[in-house]
Structure 1
């Protein structure tokens, strides 16, 4: 019983820490906002071809200086092919690139260029928000069908928490928020849901096996029985994402950071919020008591 009580207290402490982090995240989002990328604000995207010996660092330093803004430079396929992204749509593109690149490559070529208008960026924000909202609604319907509604509520709360924690990090650090980060958020939702379903499924099995057992003790037993699987899955995924973070370059930095934080948060919240909230709203083992047993007990 001592072990059960200690685990319950740990879950309560984890939930208190989660609430503090959640408050900080929401405050950061409200006060600082996001550093929206070109995908959402609009800007210029240009593909150029240079000599193979022109490096990304050299290219970016000349472009930043000549255009007086932060230019994103990413490798695009073969050696010497680059994609440039910057905010100012009023610049004369050819003149600006000549000013920046002629000193390092007099034979550079612009192979493609396009302008992303602010309206397109606004549509992307709306579509991204709708995609996340649709995921929430479908997830709620699925969990309510598969599990008792209290467990479904805990899983949804953990899911919302994970998304807000990732968003809060991007608000605090002002790392650029672009479409790759939005894709990472959707991946985080799937990962968080997977963690919550594993634990919820185990809780359902334990409750059905012992419908007259003590709730906190059975919840702790369910968590302990799935903990090793959860940690191994999270650990192996983090190794892969960390490699992506270290080796993927600046283009994948936001994506990898969002995934890393989301995986850690998903593991944390599925154990804390995902199990404590259902308990707070009255989850009991007898909610999973087999119907046959209930029928027999009601007979005179």
Structure 2
């Protein structure tokens, strides 16, 4: 595997860069054409906590509730056995809110509504504004850090890799119309930090090699940097993917969106750091002289 990587790393970097650009275009088209399927956290809806038979599972409840309450109905297990939190859209004007007791009585001998509340659309609008502001601030902070840490040609590769990862996740959710809620948004913020870490490790190695091997072409420097950090990247990404996969398989409906977003973000973050993060600085003509001390003319 290592020998194959050494012999083909440059071809791999260039091919994956082309694939990344193509996926970004597809994701942007999906976002523009279909948009995101905003969850109840952003659009508003009803939140009802019920107590039912302890033998019922989330699938039993969803199969009963969705035909009555709508496709975007979700259930989350509460602390006590048999207690569930149901989220569903507010009925349109002219429609009545279905009776939860009557709906669940088809599958449960005992139904008790513990609490019921409405999340207004105004709260959802505020969450959208605050979420967008949080994403903007985090990106600006990352941009400032990259500009301080690296020369702009090298920093631009890491920044574009971050944008690539976020666009891919948003494009996937737009294309599949999976619910985009607060847990998915939290995953996107986590992806930013994870992808940034990968990009910084490789960029830092590139900077070291540029100074140490000033006569070596930048393309070769980038190849060597990727190979030197490859094992570390695979171990980190592999162990994180195992954890996210466990959340995906065993976390249930409540964590499905978070796990899917993290899974896609980790995969894209790994290859974008290797491809976009190294190829873009080459296109911008990064050279060792950009990291060498500037000679000051002492002549009067």
The number of residues matched between the two structures is 293
Change (3 A) 1:66 1:171: closer
Q: Secondary structure at the match of 1:44?
A: strand
Q: Secondary structure at the match of 1:239?
A: helix
Equivalent residue for 2:250? 247
For residue 92 of structure 1, report the CA deviation from its aligned partner: 5.7
Equivalent residue for 1:24? 26
For residue 235 of structure 1, report the CA deviation from its aligned partner: 0.7
Runs of 4+, deviation exceeding 4 Å: 3-6, 89-93
1:99-129 alpha-carbon deviations (Å, 9 max, x no partner): 2023444542222221111111111111111
Structure 1 stretches of 5 or more lacking a match? none
For residue 247 of structure 1, report the CA deviation from its aligned partner: 0.5
For residue 259 of structure 1, report the CA deviation from its aligned partner: 0.4
Equivalent residue for 2:241? 238
Q: Tell me if structure 2 keeps the 8 A contact 1:44–1:89.
A: no
Correspondent of 1:208 among 208, 211, 222: 211
Q: Tell me if structure 2 keeps the 8 A contact 1:66–1:96.
A: no
Q: Secondary structure at the match of 1:192?
A: helix
Correspondent of 1:131 among 120, 134, 143: 134
1:186-218 alpha-carbon deviations (Å, 9 max, x no partner): 010011100000001111111121223211111
Structure 2 stretches of 5 or more lacking a match? none
**In structure 2, C-alpha distance between the alignment counterparts of 1:269 and 1:278, rounded to whole Å:** 13
1:19-65 alpha-carbon deviations (Å, 9 max, x no partner): 11111110011001111110011100111112222332332222223
Equivalent residue for 1:38? 40
**In structure 2, C-alpha distance between the alignment counterparts of 1:285 and 1:4, rounded to whole Å:** 22
Change (3 A) 1:67 1:258: closer
TM-score by length of 1: 0.91
Equivalent residue for 2:268? 265
**In structure 1, C-alpha distance between the alignment counterparts of 2:89 and 2:124, rounded to whole Å:** 12
Equivalent residue for 2:162? 159
Equivalent residue for 1:7? 9
**In structure 1, C-alpha distance between the alignment counterparts of 2:54 and 2:164, rounded to whole Å:** 46
Matches within 5 A, 1:105-184: 105=108, 107-184=110-187
Q: Secondary structure at the match of 1:245?
A: helix
Equivalent residue for 1:85? 87
1:114-149 alpha-carbon deviations (Å, 9 max, x no partner): 111111111111111111111111001001101111
2:70 is aligned with 1:98: no
TM-score by length of 2: 0.91
Could you say what the CA RMSD is over the residues aligned between the two structures, in angstroms?
2.1
